[in-house]
Amino acid sequence: MSEKLTPYFKIFYSRRMAVMVLLGFSSGLPLPLTSGTLQAWLTIAGVDLRTIGIFSLVGLPYTIKFLWSPLMDRFVPPWLGRRRGWIIPTQLALMLGITSMVLVSPQYAPLALALLALIVAFTSASQDIVVDAYRTDLLPEVERGIGAATFIMGYRIAMLVGGALALILSDQIGWQNTYLIMAGLMIVGVFGTFLGPEPDGKITPPKNLREAIWGPLKDFFSRPRALIILLFIVLYKLGDAYAGSMTTPFLLRGIGFSATDVGTINKGMGFVALIVGAMYGGAIMIKLGLFRSLMIFGLLQMVSNLSFMVLAWTGKNYGVMIFTVAFENLSGGMGMAAFAAFIMALCNKRYSATQFALLSSLSALGRVFISPTSGYVVESTGWAIFFFITTLTALPGLLLLWWLKDEITNLKQE
């Protein structure tokens, strides 16, 4: 039995996978420090709610990062190569930026702190651009699923460190010392960058900035059914995201579980289940291939929404809750790994920074527009019908996937 499993899991032990974990950690750590954890710091410091609300604009660079991604495709730093040469400066700048945040008092200089947080977010988004391009350029087809899974694992661990652990540390050693520790942890990513090999040096960057801007669009839209592919990217995880927008309120208010229950089971066990799902999904993608993985994992994501409908019917039942949370996160992790591998496969390596940034931003578009309707739908229909509607929301993406079967099966990265 172990001999049969070996071909699917031995890739996890490669140097490239170690680099993916470390770079995933480096990408995930700054996000909570400029969002949820920063909001907690502001709240405890007594900053008024209107100011805290305005701080949410700090996350804007993550949604518009494609605007400056062509620069990272076009220009090649004189050290460490085309991709790692960009990663190192962004990581060092993040260490400096996070450290600088401790020098400002949120009570007396909130605007200065907001500016520093915005700089950190911009630098973090820039790191994301080039790290996504790096793994797209580096990983061969057979390793894309596993590479995405190990990256997700590192990213989620960092989110936990920068979120839950940072909050715990802040109670013990204060916010300034906590942020200094978080800045120091960015050394993990620096180590990963030096450990990682440089992608194929034969990849030719765009000749000029004009090509770096328009070349990625021209290349993508030269594909058959390019518009259908874009629509599929918007819709594939829409049902999963729609249900996820109301999961916590449902468990707390809709069913009546305690905050401890939700924190332990939904956040704690769900975190583990998502990583397990991503790792397992990435491994079996080697056997299933990209199209079958997207289809099977997408179906599981869709069906997992029905488990919330069952929980709404049964009420406060811990066994059903545990099954529902585990099922939803396992299938979600598998879907994340396959979808990330799909985005990588779509990218031309000459323009991978810009194309990955554009396509990943596009994948969040549906969630941005549909999630605000969730509260109205729940109030109008009730929880069970809401989760049934989220299940139906997943169908268009799966139908488009079936329509694109030949294109995805024959997809080759340039």
pLDDT tens figures, 282-314? 888 888 889 999 999 999 999 999 999 999 999
Which burial class, exposed, middle or buried, applies to 379 when counting CB atoms under 10 A from its CB (0-12, 13-18, 19+)? Answer: exposed
Which class does domain 206-414 fall in?
A: mainly alpha
Interval 132-143: pLDDT, tens: 999 998 888 888
**Domains in the chain: boundaries:** 1-205, 206-414
3-class secondary structure, 414: coil
pLDDT, average across residues 359-363: 86
- Is residue 160 pLDDT above 80, yes or no? yes
* Mean pLDDT (whole number) for 356-361: 90
Q: pLDDT tens-digit profile of 3-39?
A: 454 555 565 567 888 899 999 999 999 998 988 888 8
How many Å apart are CA 362 and CA 357, to the nearest integer? Answer: 9
DSSP string, 188-218: HHHHHHHHSPPPPTTPPPPSSHHHHHHHHHH
Q: Which residues of 248-281 are buried (b: 16+ CB within 10 A; e: fewer)?
A: bebbeebbebeeebbeebbeeebbebbbbbbbbb
Query: What phi and psi values does residue 89 have, to the nearest 5 degrees?
Result: -60, -40
Question: Is residue 129's pLDDT more than 90?
Answer: yes
Whole-model pTM? 0.86
Fold match between 1-205 and 206-414? yes
**DSSP string for residues in 339-354:** HHHHHHHH--TTSHHH
> Domain 1-205 - what CATH class?
mainly alpha
Q: If we measure between CA atoms, which residue out of 29, 25, 275 comes closest to residue 154?
A: 25
Contact 136, 199 (CB under 8 A): no
Cα–Cα distance between 270 and 273 in angstroms, integer? 5
DSSP state of 105: -
- pLDDT value of position 170: 87
**Angle formed at CA 398 by CA 237 and CA 138, multiple of 5 degrees:** 60
Q: pLDDT tens for residues 52-104?
A: 777 778 888 888 899 999 999 999 888 888 889 999 999 999 999 999 999 98
pLDDT for 414 beyond 70: no
Stretch among 253-262, 291-300, 326-335, 357-366 having the lowest mean pLDDT: 253-262
* Predicted confidence (pLDDT) per residue in 383-405, tens digit: 899 899 999 999 999 999 999 99
